[in-house]
Chain A
Amino acid sequence: METKKIMATFAVLMVALMGVGYAYAHWTDTLLINGTINTGSINVKYTSVTCSDTGTDPDYTKDVGSCTTGISDDGKTFTFTINNAYPSYHFLVTIVIKNFGTVPVYPKSFTYQTSGNPQGADPVESWLTVTPQIGWPVGQIDGGQSTTIVLYVHFEENTPQSATVTITGSLTFWNWNEVQPP
């Protein structure tokens, strides 16, 4: 009985060793693929935002309303302030956006919110109309290239008096190849 056990153990050991021997015994050679991927970047910034109202209100003879603009240090936000607006006050806003990255971008979405519209006033969209004149919808912007958007801003007759309304918007860009043009 003891002999059978020893023989069985020996047989198992031999089979295991054969297996190991097979795994390590074959000849091998190796080829390498050495891959390097340098990814590009997208980086859009406002480089210029100007209002056409720089004194006398456009198409009028008095300097009543005013429009001032600014760009944040990181170029990602532009601010505008319109003071003393009145019905039929209007002007053009010219926005220049540059892609400082290396990969073309395409606008994916534009969203905005308004707040501060006085109670009882009509919705902001009804008394403040913004009509693109040039460069809208924004197309692809290649790396290192700029695009210019010109917007016509007009205050309608139902503009509420003495109102302070805040508008915040967001224009989102994606790498060009992942946006389906409209």
Chain B
Amino acid sequence: MDYVRRKTSVPAVLVIALLALGLSGFSYAHWTDQLNVQGTINTGNICAEYSPPIAVGDLGPDWMYVEGVGIVQVPGAKDVGSTVVGLQNVDGHAKILTVTINNAYPYYATSIDFHVHNCGSVPITMYQAIFDPEASPGVKVNQTITHTGVVYLDLNGDGQQDVMILWSGIFGNQIDPCFAYMQDMSFIVVVLQPAPQGAHLTFLVELDFMNWNEYVPPPP
């Protein structure tokens, strides 16, 4: 009987199994210890709100805008127009400043001084003011300003400027979270000659604030 030495795969399978078991055994067998990191991040928030009092320039006899001079009260000025301001709360914060000008006429001018308070925990910066066309149907051109200056608005869509707003709110100033400090801002509304008589005109301005550290001053 011939003895035939036959090759078999049994040893190879055994070796592989041992290796696998060895590895498994290693991973289960060694002593272990571990350190953990448990992180908690409490993010801050930004929150801007108006803070009373809101001051109005027209408290009696009217003020006029005179080209090249500015806002003046002429001798014998009459109390014809009037300006009323108010604040509306949204989620517990004064978010809307309402300005109502009654019985206005060409070159009637009124100033509004207001304060912005940081009701959040992260410093904020006002970076732009948008005269919003969607919220103000008459305003045909979305105008965004990032510097103090003058904005003309056509409030009835007839192609003529009805109102001039001289904006003195400061862009880029940091307003820290604080109960005491508030940013003083102001603007002047001047009714222009093309403003229609007996009309009800509206405008909406959005004042946008951002976290202070990402503010990039726009080119002059």
Contacts and interface: CB of A to CB of B under 8 A. Distances in A.
A88 interface: no
A30 B207 contact: yes
Nearest to B153: A35
Interface residues of B, number: 55
Interface residues of A, number: 30
B104 A31 contact: no
A39 B197 contact: yes
Contacts of A22: 214
A26 interface: yes
Given A31-B50, A33-B99, A39 B195 contact: yes
Contacts of B96: 31-34
Nearest to B65: A177
B102 A142 contact: no
A73 interface: no
Interface string A32-71: 1111111111100000000000000000000000000000
B201 A32 contact: no
Given A26-B214, A29-B124, A39-B195, A103 B97 contact: no
Given A37-B189, A38-B102, 8 more contacts: A27-B210, A32-B207, A34-B98, A35-B205, A36-B101, A37-B199, A40-B198, A42-B105
Interface of A: 22, 25-42, 101-104, 140, 142-143, 175-178
